[in-house]
Structure 1
Amino acid sequence: MEQDIANFMLRAAKFEFFLVNRDTSLVHTKVVGVFTAIIGVNWTKVAQFVEVAFPFNTFDFTNSGFEIFAQTAPQYLVIKHDGRLGWDCDNEPIDSWDRLLTRSYAQLRNNVAHGNKHQMPAPFTHDRTAQFLPAGLALMNFIANQVFLESDWDTPIFS
């Protein structure tokens, strides 16, 4: 699983760079001294591009490879009432590309980048990472290939 997560994170980083390099309107920024630093992808803006090309309400998720993102969202890492860490979900429906990208995809990226469900297992999280990782890759490919019409976004990194 660690190799799958490492592969996902490498590709997620390449995907995020692809997006911000393609169109700087897709970024979140912060002024740092005399620079405007890019601090991440503005998933809401990406969602707007996806919505124009593929309206959410008519999109057929069944064969997309990322249907799981439309059905459920990865859980948040939370502090439980007893002060311990746990996993929980807001149970709000995924009803737009914006919600799918900002809640489902971005949460998956955060979870695999910062979490280790082996250290804090829960019965309902078993196998979810293994289901979400290929869906995340399929979503990245869909956006790059079908929305931005770029088939070579995921090129090898050479030293």
Structure 2
Amino acid sequence: MDEEIANFMLLAAKLEFFLVNLDQTFAHVDGKTRVVRGIDWDRIGQSLEVKHPFSGFDFAGSGFQLFKETTPQLLLAKEGGGLKWDSDEIEVSSWQILLGRSYAQLRNNVAHGNKAQLSAPFTHDRTREFLEAGRHLIHFLAGAHSSDDTWSYAVQFH
């Protein structure tokens, strides 16, 4: 599982850099320092809506229908201390919600957590399902914004 998570995070990082490099409006930019602080999933969702309207999209054949049907859990701080997984079970009714809540939450959970350390019955077996759906969504997003695969080239440090 560690290798699957590492590969997913590398793919997610490549996608995020590709998107902000392609169009700076896809980045959350600090107005004062101009530092890129993350991804503006709302803007990417708006861009996607123009290309692939959400209401008519074939989620069943997409490989990432899971993100439309359910959202990954949130990590919450319990009153009096401790952590727990919980869900807000919101309706995923737009690309903005699917990207900003479902996909971004998966990415946050994978990047910042280890569900094995705080297991809950409803999370068992879902990590692999979400990772697979995430990979499909990443490739779909890249393909919607690029006609080639240059976004996924090997990471180079010189």
Q: TM-score, normalised by structure 2?
A: 0.94
Deviation string for 1:15-48 (max 9, x for gaps)? 100000000011101145xx41111110000000
Counterparts of 1:70 and 1:36 in 2: how far apart (Å)?
33
Question: What SS is found at the alignment partner of 2:116?
Answer: coil
Counterparts of 2:20 and 2:89 in 1: how far apart (Å)?
30
Question: What SS is found at the alignment partner of 1:139?
Answer: helix
Deviation string for 1:47-93 (max 9, x for gaps)? 00110011111101001010100000100000234532010011111
Report the equivalent of 2:120: 122
Report the equivalent of 1:153: 151
Counterparts of 2:90 and 2:51 in 1: how far apart (Å)?
25
Deviation string for 1:123-144 (max 9, x for gaps)? 0001111001111111111011
Alignment of 1:21 onto 2:21: yes
Report the equivalent of 1:6: 6
State how many pairs are aligned: 157
Counterparts of 2:139 and 2:74 in 1: how far apart (Å)?
25
The one-letter code of the counterpart of 2:2 is E
Sequence identity, in percent? 50
The one-letter code of the counterpart of 1:132 is F
Counterparts of 1:155 and 1:25 in 2: how far apart (Å)?
22
Q: 1:65 aligns with which of 63, 67, 77?
A: 63
RMSD: 1.3
Runs of 4+ in 1 over 6 A off after TM superposition: none
Counterparts of 2:147 and 2:88 in 1: how far apart (Å)?
34
More displaced stretch, 9-18 vs 138-147? 138-147
Question: What SS is found at the alignment partner of 1:36?
Answer: coil
Contact 1:43/1:98, CA 8 A, preserved across alignment? yes
Residue 119 to residue 129, structure 1, CA distance change in 2 (3 Å): same
Counterparts of 1:1-159 in structure 2 under 5 Å?
A: 1-31=1-31, 35-159=33-157
